[in-house]
Amino acid sequence: MTICSSTKVSREMTIEEFKAWLKQFDADGDGRISKNELRTAMRSLGIYFTTWKSRRGIRFADSNGDGFIDDNEIDGLIEFAQNKLGIMIEK
């Protein structure tokens, strides 16, 4: 994965690269990803990502129902990104 100054990244990355890339969009630094932070992250990949899609991604991965994705729920978000967005995430 290559991160440029514009935060554009490849749509192919490892799990660790995906996690590191996603953390840079944690705007409030709380260690969780909100729907707005997720939308910003996906748009940085050039994916047209609406508020509706970001809510859908959060619901898909949010196992505790708090409306955020934390480290324990990242696998669900990885699955969503692979299956619904065509992002290649390798182990």
pLDDT of residue 8: 42
Q: What is the pTM of this model?
A: 0.81
Domains of the chain in start order, with CATH, are: 12-90 (1.10.238.10)
Given pLDDT bands bounded at 50, 70 and 90, which one contains residue 10? low
CA–CA distance, 32 with 83 (Å, rounded to integer) = 22
* pLDDT tens, position by position, 23-73: 999 999 999 999 999 999 988 888 877 888 888 999 999 999 999 999 999
Name the H helices within the chain. Answer: 15-23, 35-44, 51-61, 74-85
